[in-house]
Amino acid sequence: MRMKSFISKGRTLLLVVCVLLVLPLCAQRGVESFTIVEYNVENLFDTVHAEGKRDVEFTPQGRLHWDTRRYRRKLTAIARAIVAAAEKDVPALVALCEVENDTVLRDLTQRTRLAALGYTYIGTDGPDLRGINVALLYQPLRFRPVSVDTFRVDFGEGVRPSRDLLHVAGQIVGGDTLDIIVCHAPSRMGGRRQTEPQRIRLATQIRHVADSLLAIRQRPALIVTGDFNDELPDRPLRRVLGARPADKQFHPTCLYDVCCRKKPHIVVHGSYKFRHQWQHIDHVLLSGSLFLGLHALEASPDCAEILAPDFLLEHDGERGFRPRRTFLGTSYHGGTSDHLPTVIRLRLSR
């Protein structure tokens, strides 16, 4: 079922100036790259209660005492993390999980250091009881949306609703079409086995949308990304989506998980840490065509990395480091998120 999404109206003049400044610098350095970031930003709520949503705790009067100062600090930290991903160029696309609404996306893109980079955004407005959604930030001169769809997933009778899927098709420099699907799967709260059927239903919906897109595109290039709340060997990813590790054998319409081949990091071994164990539950799946030179964008098996600057981490006792989150229980901790960003660096040929 297709649902409505909200799209921001960006400041076009500022965008043109910023992107025209960035792209020539890349060309001068001989760099043709297209960077994508996936990031679960952990409960990015504004401070106002939304009618019909269970978000009262994220208000000044709620048990978390979520006020303007804390909200702005979180926005600043998220923007800093996104900017930190700009090793060779500014990320062209940023897929976000756990954002509340148009207000937080507007504040993130227009009232932080991201304002100088000209991002605009597309977000879902789904039925999640707490009111969290997914979104895509993009730079319009590098990715021009031509269609936007959101899909509501039926998780079965008696199961509470969850986030919608977001699909955006856009043209990149040179005219090729890139499809990106952003998702945030139901959590494991209540038990992994007990909740797995919900994630299987989500994966089934993604597979249906992906198959439709891969069948109609002349030069299919598909990216599926988000917080899957599962790892690659788990059934929703491996058996339902058919996701495979990125290796030397590629088929144009199969999906390959580049996160399992991420560049090594000294202290970080996943995007999320649960009970002192690192996990890869944030994924970026690429269609095989992106590895085979069939598209203007080209991937390599080792194009992924987990972004882990010091300001996103804290010590985890004697067990190394962990993401520094915003709250520990109901106590304000002042961190950014319980997840780390995943960064994908693709090559772009014109």
What the block records as the tokens of 196 is: 């797995």
CA distance 243 to 313: 29
CA distance 334 to 340: 15
- Look at residue 264 in the predicted model and tell me its pLDDT: 55
276's CB contacts (< 8 A; 6+ apart) are 316, 317, 319, 322
CA distance 44 to 107: 11
Residue type, 75: L
Burial class from Cβ neighbours inside 10 Å (0-12, 13-18, 19+) for residue 11 reads: middle
Whether residue 49 contacts residue 61, with contact meaning beta carbons closer than 8 Å, is answered with no
Question: Over the range 276-292, which residues count as b (16 or more CB within 10 Å of their CB) and which as e?
Answer: eebebbbbbbbbbbbbe
Whether residue 134 contacts residue 95, with contact meaning beta carbons closer than 8 Å, is answered with yes
Q: Treating both helix axes as pointing N-terminal to C-terminal, what angle do 68-84 and 102-110 enclose, rounded to 10 degrees?
A: 60
Do strands 133-138 and 120-124 pair parallel, antiparallel, or not at all (unpaired)?
Answer: antiparallel
- Look at residue 207 in the predicted model and tell me its pLDDT: 97
Closest CA to 128 of 182, 185, 71: 185
Do strands 313-315 and 321-323 pair parallel, antiparallel, or not at all (unpaired)?
Answer: antiparallel
- Look at residue 74 in the predicted model and tell me its pLDDT: 98
- Look at residue 15 in the predicted model and tell me its pLDDT: 43
- Look at residue 58 in the predicted model and tell me its pLDDT: 98
- Residues pairing with 283 in the sheet: 226
Judged by DSSP in three states, 196 sits in helix
- Look at residue 32 in the predicted model and tell me its pLDDT: 82
- Look at residue 262 in the predicted model and tell me its pLDDT: 59
Determine the CATH number of domain 2-25+33-348.
Answer: 3.60.10.10
What is the biggest distance separating any 2 CA atoms in the chain, rounded to whole angstroms? Answer: 57
Position of tokens 């970031």?
37
Closest CA to 230 of 203, 209, 207, 256: 203
Residues with pLDDT less than 50, the chain: 1-4, 9-31
The dihedral over CA atoms of 255, 225, 135, 345, expressed in degrees to the nearest 10, equals -100
Question: Over the range 312-346, which residues count as b (16 or more CB within 10 Å of their CB) and which as e?
Answer: bbeeeeeeebbbbbbbeeeeeeebbbbbbbbbbbb
Burial class from Cβ neighbours inside 10 Å (0-12, 13-18, 19+) for residue 252 reads: middle
- Look at residue 317 in the predicted model and tell me its pLDDT: 84
Residue type, 79: A
CA distance 179 to 143: 10
Q: Where are the domains of the chain?
A: 2-25+33-348
- Look at residue 11 in the predicted model and tell me its pLDDT: 43
Burial class from Cβ neighbours inside 10 Å (0-12, 13-18, 19+) for residue 104 reads: buried
120-144 pLDDT per residue, tens: 999 999 999 999 999 999 999 999 9
